[in-house]
Amino acid sequence: MAIDFRLTARQSELQLQSRRFAKEVLSPVLEAEALPTPEERFAATRPAYEAVIAAGFLRKCIPLSAGGESAGLIETAIIAEELYAVNASVALTLIGTLLGLLPLLIGGTEEQRRRLLHPFLKQAGAPLAGFCATEPGGSANAASPPPGEGVRTTATLRGDRWILEGRKSWVSSATGWDRKGADILTVLCRTDPRAPPERGISVLIMERPVSGLIFERAIDSVGHRAHSLPQFRFEEARVPSDNVVGTVGGGLALTAACFTGAAALVGIFAVALMRAAFKFTLGFARTERRGGILPILEHQAVGYALADAKTAIEAIRSLCWRACQAVDAQSPSAQELAIQAKVLGSETAVRVLTDLMRVVGIESYDHALPLGRLLQDALALPLFGGGNLGVRRRQLHAILKMLEYDPLASVSEVEV
């Protein structure tokens, strides 16, 4: 009886609570996406994000062992699907904050967690965190040895402080609500320029107020229009020496661990966007005759396209839930499954969105309908959380090149 895709009573309640919340609170905030500048759009989502926090959704994504309420990644996936299906920008502000905390949750000491997590466990305010990996000029080759540049941001130990210099970009919410910095930034940086990347790169934690963080610009992104994606730099930014997460030099391994669970969640974002588009398109096909005699759903071409879309949604959700279960169980196949969920889910979402736009026809090209927005959001999925070409397929390639790789391991695991 180990394979059972039914939700527990607790998970089902979480799903319904998240769905109700998204409809009531996040749906009206979509209007923010029409504001002229990225910063105005992000600022307009703040009351909704405060409501997300007040309703306890961030607490519900933080593990019980760290003082939160989450019993596992599958619960985060349930919340993420419901929130993302309605408002990808605000949902990503929540999940981006969780990503910013992940190094602490996975590799932090008890003392660091006690000291740094409390603003994120309260059900008040609008706390933000960001994981700063991406840099202008590219980050797919962060692990490159010389002469590749790899991670360019540096941290130099002076007395009891690390001094950071460098630039970062595309980091969710990193400059906070006021350009001065999120409450916590976890920063991937080079702590030993002479060591090979697997020993010379670390994750440091910066606490607000961040000295030496300089806002450069708010990126005007194609989708996630009301989400904050700044470009910024560190100039003599100071971090206490005990704010290294995990070991000094262990930053790449910690980042890879954080991005495993995150990959499964990107797959769930894909499910959320496809599901929202499917619901809209089915309604359109049931009611619209487009000048003909019958609702267009009666045309076989339309029915088949909708059937294919629904099949894709079910398949990707199953793969994502399996990946979440593997991450929660710390299964040896977790990384492979999570990356597969990310790569296949993200690319399927882009295809399904365009297929559904063809079903609706020309009206889908009007922003008065939701499909254009959903496609714009979906276009990010193959690109972020580690690009599918520059990062994720390379990781899958590396897994299957390992001598001990067993293609059947993911289906041969025995419950212990």
Ligand X SMILES: Cc1cc2nc3c(=O)[nH]c(=O)nc-3n(C[C@H](O)[C@H](O)[C@H](O)COP(=O)(O)OP(=O)(O)OC[C@H]3O[C@@H](n4cnc5c(N)ncnc54)[C@H](O)[C@@H]3O)c2cc1C
**Residue with the CB atom nearest ligand X in the bound state:** 387
Stretch that binds ligand X, among 165-173, 207-215, 323-331, 333-341 (CB under 6 A): 165-173
- Rule CB under 6 A: is residue 140 a binding residue for ligand X? yes
Residue 168 Cβ, how far from ligand X at the closest point, in Å?
7
Please spell the DSSP secondary structure of 69-113, one letter per residue.
-BS-HHHHHHHHHHHHTT-HHHHHHHHHHHHHHHHHHHH--HHHH
Residue 140 Cβ, how far from ligand X at the closest point, in Å?
3
- Rule CB under 6 A: is residue 334 a binding residue for ligand X? no
d(CA 149, CA 165): 15
Closer by beta carbon to ligand X, 290 or else 394: 394
Q: List the x/- string, 38-67, binding to ligand X by CB under 6 A.
A: ------------------------------
Q: Which contacts qualify for 47-52: CB closer than 8 Å, 24 or more apart?
A: 48/87, 48/90, 49/90, 49/93, 49/94, 49/126, 50/125, 50/126, 51/21, 51/25, 52/21, 52/25, 52/26, 52/83, 52/90, 52/93, 52/94
- Rule CB under 6 A: is residue 313 a binding residue for ligand X? no
CB distance 277 to 370 below 8 Å: yes
Residue 407 Cβ, how far from ligand X at the closest point, in Å?
23
Beta bridge partners of 165: 154
Q: Give the helix ranges, DSSP H, for 209-289.
A: 251-287
- Rule CB under 6 A: is residue 150 a binding residue for ligand X? no
d(CA 385, CA 80): 15
Total residues at the site for ligand X (CB under 6 A)? 28
- Rule CB under 6 A: is residue 162 a binding residue for ligand X? no
d(CA 97, CA 129): 4
Closer by beta carbon to ligand X, 49 or else 131: 131
Ranges of beta strands (E only) in 290-355 are: none
Question: Which residues, 6+ apart, have CB-to-CB distance to 350 below 8 Å?
Answer: 375, 378, 379, 381, 382
Q: List the x/- string, 77-96, binding to ligand X by CB under 6 A.
A: -------------------x
Residue 379 Cβ, how far from ligand X at the closest point, in Å?
9
Helices and strands (H and E) in the chain: how many: 14, 8
Residue 139 Cβ, how far from ligand X at the closest point, in Å?
4
- Sites for ligand X among residues 166-225 (CB under 6 A): 170-172, 221, 224
Q: CA angle, corner 268, sides to 28 and 88, nearest 5?
A: 25
- Sites for ligand X among residues 382-401 (CB under 6 A): 383-387, 389-391, 394
- Rule CB under 6 A: is residue 115 a binding residue for ligand X? no
Q: Looking at 70, 112, 139, 364, which residue binds ligand X (CB under 6 A)? A: 139
Closer by beta carbon to ligand X, 184 or else 359: 184
- Rule CB under 6 A: is residue 232 a binding residue for ligand X? no
**Residue with token string 């959320």:** 272
Closer by beta carbon to ligand X, 167 or else 317: 167
Q: Which residues bind ligand X (CB under 6 A)?
A: 96, 99, 130-134, 138-141, 170-172, 221, 224, 227, 229, 380, 383-387, 389-391, 394
